[in-house]
Amino acid sequence: MRRALAGWAFATPFTVLFLVFMAVPVVASLVMSVTDLRSTDLRTPFAVEFVGLSNYTRMVDDAQFRRAALNTAVFVVVGVPLTMVVGLAAASALNSGLVKLRALFRVGFYLPVVTSIVALAVIWRFLLDPEAGLVNSALRLVGVEGPNWLGDSRLALPSIIAMAVWRNFGFLMVIFLAGLQAIPADLYESSRLDGAGRWAQFRYITVPMLRPTLLFGGVVTSIGYLQLFEEPLVMTRGGPLDSTLSVSYHIYNQFGFGNYGYAAAVSYVLFAVIVGLAALQFRLLGSRD
Amino acid sequence: MKRQRLAAAAFAAMLALAACGRDSGGEDTDTTAPVSEGKATGDITVWAMGTEGEKLAAFAQDFMTENPDAKVNVTAVPWDAAHQKIASAIAAKQTPDVSMVGTTWMGEFAATGALDPTPASVVDKAAFFSGAWDTTVVNGTSYGVPWYVETRLLYYRKDLAAKAGVTAPASWDEMTSFATAMRDKGGAKWGLNLQPGGTGSWQSFLPFAWSNGATLASGKDFTLDSPQMTEALAYYQSFFTNKLSPPTDLSLQGALEQSFINGTLAAFISGPWHVGLLNQQGGAGFKDKFAVAPMPRKQSATSFVGGSDLAVFKDAKNRDGAWKFVSWLSRPDVQVKWYKAVGDLPAVQRGWEDQSLSGDPILATFGEQLKDAKSPPAIPTWEQVAAVIDGEIEKVAKSGADPATATKAMQDRASGIGTGS
């Protein structure tokens, strides 16, 4: 009895904090998403009306939301595999012993991950500047007039994807490297005795042994890419012509406009997509034994 | 901070429990209670953003000397956080007594019912520039007082104009030939910078619409697809199709000032803050190389008026003291002193009679332009409508969209958003 009381006493602070700062806001925002709450109702919240699912159906007609959803989908579908492949390639190279100065590369590739994304985005904005940017200056050296990377609605999203891949692959590289080093060396040894080449080793030993690591990497990267926000905010403000508007950015805008009910509804849709995608990945890549 | 979050959580919980029904209607009819006579007393809490937030505390010393029983407490709020902070304060009924409010936020905050209507005894409406006063008026009632103003003028390089053989343009036609000459004979790469869409480009476009006689709204209906609006947008677009204006936003890259100083850009439209920026970055002697001119005329030569207002909250603990402080800040002599301390231009017309403003040819031009300057309607949904306008301007400027289609789209989407009243 006394031990149970002590347990409760220790658990209470956390429980209270969790309820007040996590559970209540989550439930409240879910309720918010079925009301017409706007910033102009702030002083008279009891006058807010219940509007059922109309915030959810409104998304269908919202051209900007559709554009944001499409952009985010492109970002995930292109960005996630690209980041995974680059991360795995970098990890394999660092693990193979072909690369000298391993520690230097490891730190170098990992540095963008731990640097503030806002600082990186500002620097990339300068790099990609059509007139004075380093990228186009370098292209000019070889006689090519580079495009306006962030100002062209066809190139802005690919430019942001390139930046995101560059920033994020280091994280996966470190995770994959740990996974690679956990694979017992005798597996490779015995396969070599059986006459397996490098590709066969990669295909039949590395990938299956890495499956849980790849799953983790895939889920974490997908969630990160679905929440794309800071890069367009700093680099393009969602433009030009909404070509880099993401779902998160759309939510941010709608909260800014004071459409709290609608913004909450979009947040829940994004939440559902993230949960759904993670579940799908677990099913496809999860353990098969 | 913690209290605020708790309050926000409590508000959210309240909302979750509320069986929502809109039966109470507008809870209060806005009648103006008079403000007591005599000196201000008690604590007056004030929120202000940016430079104003930093400098107001020291400036308010004079007020406290005049009103020994009053104490002004200024909280400096970063601009980025200001809108959210005021909104949270309104929801929690924990507002300050007075806050600086961005002119385009007035409609939204007034619609919450949190702002105290301006008592007639406190300030004289006629003392202010009418375009600035209009930013405080929501549905016919004023909910604050303009504090300081800014308006937009044409900045141009005098030396390039002399080389190109042109003078400052007075009309739309002259503006086109001016920009063309600046580029073709003056040696600039771009004749005139106009914002090609993106956040805030409505401020750059609307002066052309107003000068052409267009209106934004009439009552509860938007009037964005008028022929005047379309014509203004087509004129705006012509600068991009004729390659007189750069297709990317120079200011977003932080390149506007440098382009102007090194002569690749011959002219741009901006507010008074650019005088200081150019003198600072251009180095010695640059101030003789540029001049400002009023907006070019079509039916009128209307510019955009921005700035900030001061509003008193209904939940203020010291309402009378708050209005007395606002009234003091609106005195012409105090407005001039504030200009000297911070550089904010007076919203009160008589402030401009002071030699420090009228004696400076550049500032005097701003003063003249303020007499013909407008603000967008003070409606709660303005920021949202503005974003729609920004998007359509971008399509017109960057991808050559048809101006008539663009104004039609502005009208349709703005009507979908509504005026919020």
| Burial bucket for residue B175 (CB in 10 Å: 0-12, 13-18, 19+) | buried
Choose the closest CB to A130 out of B91, B248, B420: B248
Q: B198, A40: Cβ pair inside 8 Å?
A: no
Q: A43, B91: Cβ pair inside 8 Å?
A: yes
B355 touches chain A (CB under 8 A): no
B1 touches chain A (CB under 8 A): no
- Spatial separation of the C-alpha atoms in residues B158 and B168, rounded to whole Å: 9
- Spatial separation of the C-alpha atoms in residues A58 and A51, rounded to whole Å: 11
Domain boundaries, chain B: 8-151+305-374, 153-302+379-417
CATH number of A73-285: 1.10.3720.10
B380: which chain A residues are within 8 Å (Cβ-Cβ)? 38-40, 258
Q: A240, B398: Cβ pair inside 8 Å?
A: yes
**Domain B153-302+379-417 belongs to what topology?**
D-Maltodextrin-Binding Protein; domain 2 (3.40.190)
Arithmetic mean of pLDDT over chain B:
88
Arithmetic mean of pLDDT over chain A:
87
Choose the closest CB to B22 out of A29, A49, A129: A49
B383 touches chain A (CB under 8 A): yes
Q: Is the pLDDT of residue B25 over 70?
A: no
Instruction: Give the burial string for A260-289 (b: 16+ CB within 10 Å, else e).
Output: bbbbbbbbbbbeebeeebbeebeeeeeeee
> Which of A122, A257, A267 best probes binding to B when mutated, by most B CB atoms within 10 angstroms?
A257
Quick one: pLDDT at residue A286?
Answer: 63
| Burial bucket for residue A249 (CB in 10 Å: 0-12, 13-18, 19+) | buried
Among B186, B349, B362, smallest CA distance to B279 is for: B362
State how far the alpha carbon of B67 is from the alpha carbons of A40, B42, B122, in Å: 35, 10, 16
Per-residue pLDDT reduced to its tens digit, A186-237 = 888 888 888 888 888 888 888 888 888 888 898 889 999 999 998 888 888 8
- Residue showing tokens 């015995």: A190
pLDDT confidence bin for B26, thresholds 50/70/90: very low
Quick one: pLDDT at residue B3?
Answer: 37
B89: which chain A residues are within 8 Å (Cβ-Cβ)? none
- Spatial separation of the C-alpha atoms in residues A28 and B17, rounded to whole Å: 9
pLDDT confidence bin for A4, thresholds 50/70/90: confident
Pull the structure tokens for residue B262: 């090194």
Q: B395, A41: Cβ pair inside 8 Å?
A: no
Q: B398, A241: Cβ pair inside 8 Å?
A: yes
CATH number of B8-151+305-374: 3.40.190.10
Q: Is the pLDDT of residue B1 over 50?
A: no
What is the ipTM for the molecules in this complex? Answer: 0.75
Quick one: pLDDT at residue A36?
Answer: 87
B93 touches chain A (CB under 8 A): yes
- Spatial separation of the C-alpha atoms in residues B196 and B379, rounded to whole Å: 25
B241 touches chain A (CB under 8 A): no
Q: A29, B12: Cβ pair inside 8 Å?
A: yes
Of the segments A1-15, A62-76, A103-117, B249-263, which one has the largest average pLDDT value?
A62-76
pLDDT confidence bin for A289, thresholds 50/70/90: very low
**What is the average per-residue pLDDT within B165-173?**
93
**What is the average per-residue pLDDT within B201-229?**
93
Quick one: pLDDT at residue A63?
Answer: 87
Pull the structure tokens for residue A169: 């692959």
In this predicted model, which residue has the larger pLDDT, B408 or B123? B408
pLDDT confidence bin for B193, thresholds 50/70/90: very high
Per-residue pLDDT reduced to its tens digit, B366-409 = 999 999 999 998 898 998 999 999 999 999 998 889 999 999 99
Per-residue pLDDT reduced to its tens digit, A264-282 = 999 999 999 999 988 888 8
In this predicted model, which residue has the larger pLDDT, B5 or B293? B293
Neighbours of A171 (CB within 10 A): 20
- Residue showing tokens 């005049």: B66
The pLDDT > 70 percentage for chain B reads: 92
- Spatial separation of the C-alpha atoms in residues B298 and A261, rounded to whole Å: 43
A125 touches chain B (CB under 8 A): yes
For B94, nearest residue in chain A (alpha carbons): A43
Q: Is the pLDDT of residue A75 over 70?
A: yes
Q: B16, A132: Cβ pair inside 8 Å?
A: no
| Burial bucket for residue A119 (CB in 10 Å: 0-12, 13-18, 19+) | exposed
State how far the alpha carbon of A64 is from the alpha carbons of A51, B136, B321, B393, B403, in Å: 21, 31, 46, 16, 20
**What is the average per-residue pLDDT within A67-79?**
94
The pLDDT > 90 percentage for chain B reads: 67
Q: Whole-model pTM?
A: 0.80
DSSP three-state, residue B207? helix
Among A212, A207, A178, smallest CA distance to A94 is for: A178
What are the helix and strand counts (H, E) for chain A? 14, 0
DSSP 8-class letter at B19: -
pLDDT confidence bin for B21, thresholds 50/70/90: very low
Q: B20, A48: Cβ pair inside 8 Å?
A: yes
Quick one: pLDDT at residue A196?
Answer: 81
- Spatial separation of the C-alpha atoms in residues B221 and B412, rounded to whole Å: 11
Choose the closest CB to B24 out of A24, A35, A44: A44
**What is the average per-residue pLDDT within A141-157?**
85
Least reliable range by pLDDT among B31-35, B164-168, B198-202, B213-217:
B31-35
pLDDT confidence bin for A126, thresholds 50/70/90: confident
